[in-house]
Structure 1
Amino acid sequence: MTVHEEAGAKPASPAVDRTLTVLETLVAAEDGLTLTALARDTRIPLATCASIVYTLEARGYAARRVVGRSHFWRPTLRLYDLAAPLIRKDDLAAVAQPHLRLVADELNMPAHLGVLDGASVVYVAKAATSGFIQFDTYPGKVSPFDLTALGRAIAAYLPDEALAPLLTRLSKGMGPKARKATSRALRAQLAKVRDRGYALEDEEEEADIACVAAPIFDSDGGVAASIGVTGFAKDLAVRRLSVAADLVVRHGREISAELGCCRGTEGHP
């Protein structure tokens, strides 16, 4: 019986509900199940069960073992591939949160953790500051990767095969210092990020707002996220920018070390 049936409510999508029921049943089974057993346990018609498991097999989420004339179905670790990024984000946020708090308190500016999702950067954690003025940044916020320091700090360290598709999905900033969005210009910006170890966005996405961010690397040495601060452009000018940049770079390295990345690896700031 599905959760919907237990609650007495009809699922919005019966097809999706049946597919999830099949997956949950396969995962819960101690051994593989035949189609007959799967149909019996899920109370789903045999033909429908067959369509579902054949589709799951084609997508890599199920596999079968043939014994004589019987086919036994089981789930695969492809399911882990779906959950692993969410687990990593949760772990990453937990590791980064104390660092965000230290950065925010020292600069009196909100500090953020960002991860790349397609051509967008997603804010996954934040340490806010007290005060009357609050910036429109929050966990779950999505912004174009190329218009934010958080996104640029990640993109600068992507392998070219991962970066190239993103260069076809650039956005035009609404700020007074927004530049024409071209792949050549962005590549030049990202080269500067690698040279100095941090990314800067100065009134490009939005007027009067500036951001500085540094990359975070995982245990495999790949760029995983970025840590940055947001403030008024006038407050992140010249000397204050240097202090903020040094701080996010240092904490980016410390978070990377806590995630298992070796400092001083070639290509890392």
Structure 2
Amino acid sequence: MPMPEQADAAKSRAPSPAVDRGLTVIERLVTADEEMTLTALAKATRIPLATCASIVYTLEQRGYAARRVVGRSHFWRPTLRLYGLASQLVRKIDLSSVAQPELRALADAVDMPAHIGVLDGATVVYVAKAATAGFIQFDTYPGKVSPFNLTALGRAIAAYLPEDELAPLLTGLVGGRGPAAGDGSAAAFRELLETVRSRGYAVEDQEEQAEVACVAAPFFDAEGRVAGAVGVTGFARDLVDERRDKAAAGVRQVAATVSQRLGCPATALPRPETVF
């Protein structure tokens, strides 16, 4: 059995001031536009000068910071060793499996196939799928590509792209073949993206092809940038009213889970209703 002091420590989970200060220094060095003197760094982080000095010298010894000496001044900057750690982490994150249990649960809850998609140029690539049982199967599979503007996945991602990434995509919008295909202009698509942002999820209803509809919500990486989307696909006659609401809440919930696992701060995520 655990000792009383161990139980008390586990219960309180008090944060470490030393770790907090160390991370604050690293974050400030990384986000700074130029090298920083020790005095400027201590002032910016509100950490005592002696403590700040101890932190940066430790970072230097471990290879995470470097300094440039000019006269009596020392200018500090982060090194690419931090990038090396981040790169290893990124390689370990497999979007096809990062939320597979939740994707499976979503597909079962709405009785429609669920997907994860990412943007590649002007197309959406399906990287994961949780299928449903039954004779009828939709033509969606990992590796499939579709025009970004004709899928809910692509619209959910595009709605949160920075302008310099979105604008080039709007010059090559693809027209839909479905009966509900509408105005294919860039202006109309921008209005559609405003709707996506206002409600937190995207819808495509018989625009790409007849009788098929989809709903999707975006997820974000550790820097708050949109990284992909979670969606469900079904017959248009089924994705209506309460079933559409349930699907929308479900994709938002799974997207929030993916965002958290990619390092996006929980406080920056929407709070979807739990549906399964």
The TM-score normalised by the length of structure 1 is 0.66
Offset, 1:179 = 0.8
Q: Secondary structure at the match of 2:203?
A: strand
1:223 is matched with: 226
Q: How does 1:1-269 map to 2 (within 5 A)?
A: 87=91, 91-265=94-268
Q: Residue deviations 1:114-170, cap 9 Å, x none?
A: 000000000011000110000000000000000000000000000000000000010
Task: Give unpaired runs (5+ residues) of structure 1.
Answer: 1-76
C-alpha displacement of 1:259? 1.2
Aligned residues of 1:120 and 1:151 also touching (Cα < 8 A): yes
In 1, Cα distance between equivalents of 2:109 and 2:137: 17
Aligned length: 189
- Answer with 133-142 or 248-257: which moved more: 248-257
Q: Deviations over 1:24-43 (max 9, x none)?
A: xxxxxxxxxxxxxxxxxxxx
Give the alignment's Cα RMSD to 1 decimal.
2.4
1: CA distance, partners of 2:175 / 2:89? 29
CA contact (8 A) 1:219 1:259 kept: yes
Kindly state the Cα deviation for residue 84 of structure 1 after the two structures are TM-superposed: 8.3
Give the 3 Å change call, closer, same or farther, for CA 250–258 of structure 1 in structure 2: same
Give how far 1:180 is off: 2.1
Match of 1:38 in 2: none
Cα distance, 1:185 vs structure 2: 0.5
Match for 2:91: what amino acid? I
Which secondary structure state, in structure 1, belongs to the residue aligned with residue 91 of structure 2? helix
Give the counterpart letter for 1:122 in structure 2: V
Residue matched to 1:48: none
Residues 6-62 of structure 1 show CA distances to partners (whole Å, capped at 9, x for unaligned) of xxxxxxxxxxxxxxxxxxxxxxxxxxxxxxxxxxxxxxxxxxxxxxxxxxxxxxxxx
Q: SS state of the match for residue 253, structure 1?
A: helix
Once the two structures are TM-superposed, the CA of residue 232 in structure 1 deviates from its matched residue by 0.2
Q: Return the alpha-carbon distance in structure 2 between the equivalents of residues 155 and 84 of structure 1.
A: 27
What TM-score does the superposition give when structure 2 sets the normalisation length?
A: 0.64
Gap runs ≥5 in structure 2: 1-80
Q: Percent identity?
A: 59
Residues 1:94 and 1:266: Cα distance change in structure 2 (over 3 Å): closer
2:74 corresponds to: none
Displacement, 1:213?
0.2
- In the aligned structure 1, how far is the partner of 2:271 from the partner of 2:181? 28
Could you give the per-residue CA deviations for residues 90-125 of structure 1, whole angstroms, max 9, x where no partner exists? 522221222211110111100000000000000011
Q: 1: CA distance between counterparts of 2:168 and 2:269?
A: 24
Whole-Å Cα distance in 2 between the matches of residues 243 and 205 of structure 1? 22
**What residue in structure 1 maps to residue 42 of structure 2?**
none
Structure 1 runs (4+) greater than 3 angstroms displaced: 83-88, 266-269
**Which one-letter code corresponds to 1:195 in the other structure?**
S
SS of 1:229's equivalent? strand
Tell me how far apart the structure 1 counterparts of residues 261 and 201 of structure 2 sit (CA, whole Å): 19
C-alpha deviation, 1:268, in angstroms: 10
Q: Is the 8 A contact 2:99 2:257 kept in 1?
A: no
1:87 CA drift (Å): 3.3
